[in-house]
Amino acid sequence: MEGVTDAPMRQVISEHGGLTFCVSEFLRVCSDLFPAKVFHRHVPEFSNDCRTPSGTPVQLQILGSDEEAMGLNAQRAVELGAGAIDINFGCPAPQVNRNDGGASLLRYPERLRGIVAAVRKAVPPHIPVSAKLRLGWETPDAIFRNAEEAALGGASWITIHARTKKQGYAPPAYWNYIGEVKKQLKLPVVANGDIWTFEDFLRCRDETQCQHFMIGRSALANPGLALAISRELGIKRDLSRSSFTENPLAAWIPLLQRFAEVSEPYSQGNQYIAARIKQWLKMAYLRKQFPWFEQIKLCKTVDEIFEVLTDALTREQK
Ligand X SMILES: Cc1cc2nc3c(=O)[nH]c(=O)nc-3n(C[C@H](O)[C@H](O)[C@H](O)COP(=O)(O)O)c2cc1C
Catalytic residues: 91
Per CB under 6 A, which of residues 27..66 are in contact with ligand X?
Answer: 61
Least separation in angstroms between residue 116's CB and ligand X is 14
Q: What H or E segment, with its residue span, contains residue 98?
A: helix 94-98
Least separation in angstroms between residue 213's CB and ligand X is 9
CB atoms within 10 A of CB 211: 12
32 burial via Cβ count (<10 Å: 0-12, 13-18, 19+) = exposed
* Binding characters for ligand X, 187-206, by CB under 6 A (x = yes): -----xxxx-----------
- The answer to the question of residue 2 lying near ligand X (CB under 6 A) is yes
- What's the gap between Cα 296 and its chain centre? 26
Least separation in angstroms between residue 196's CB and ligand X is 7
The upper half-sphere exposure of residue 173, i.e. CA atoms within 13 Å in the direction of its Cβ, equals: 21
Distances (CA, A) of 111 to 65, 87, 106, 150: 8, 13, 9, 10
- Range in contact with ligand X (rule: CB under 6 A) among 83-91, 115-123, 295-303, 308-316: 83-91
- The answer to the question of residue 217 lying near ligand X (CB under 6 A) is yes
Least separation in angstroms between residue 164's CB and ligand X is 12
- Taking CB under 6 A as the criterion, the residue among 167, 218, 230, 263 binding ligand X is 218
- Taking CB under 6 A as the criterion, the residue among 44, 64, 216, 248 binding ligand X is 216
Specify the residue, 62 or 123, whose C-beta has the smaller distance to ligand X: 62
Query: By three-state DSSP, how is residue 23 classified?
Result: strand
CA–CA dist 82, 127 (Å, integer): 8
60 burial via Cβ count (<10 Å: 0-12, 13-18, 19+) = buried
- Range in contact with ligand X (rule: CB under 6 A) among 12-20, 85-93, 233-241, 294-302: 85-93
- Range in contact with ligand X (rule: CB under 6 A) among 50-58, 74-82, 116-124, 186-194: 186-194
- Range in contact with ligand X (rule: CB under 6 A) among 49-57, 122-130, 143-151, 215-223: 215-223
* Binding characters for ligand X, 158-177, by CB under 6 A (x = yes): ---x----------------
- The answer to the question of residue 284 lying near ligand X (CB under 6 A) is no
Distances (CA, A) of 309 to 15, 232, 242, 257, 262: 22, 32, 20, 11, 19
- The identity of residue 49, as a single letter, is D
Least separation in angstroms between residue 275's CB and ligand X is 14
- The answer to the question of residue 275 lying near ligand X (CB under 6 A) is no
Strands (E), the chain: 22-28, 58-63, 85-89, 129-136, 157-164, 189-192, 212-214
Specify the residue, 100 or 261, whose C-beta has the smaller distance to ligand X: 100
- The answer to the question of residue 4 lying near ligand X (CB under 6 A) is yes
Name the residue whose CB lies closest to ligand X. Answer: 216
CA–CA dist 212, 78 (Å, integer): 24
Query: By three-state DSSP, how is residue 71 classified?
Result: helix
CB atoms within 10 A of CB 141: 12
- Taking CB under 6 A as the criterion, the residue among 21, 26, 46, 157 binding ligand X is 26
- The answer to the question of residue 151 lying near ligand X (CB under 6 A) is no
Least separation in angstroms between residue 243's CB and ligand X is 22
CA–CA dist 52, 156 (Å, integer): 22
**Which has the closest alpha carbon to 121: 150, 153, 76, 80?**
153
- Taking CB under 6 A as the criterion, the residue among 8, 90, 128, 136 binding ligand X is 90
Please report, as ranges, the residues that interact with ligand X according to CB under 6 A: 1-4, 25-26, 61, 88, 90-91, 132, 161, 192-195, 215-218
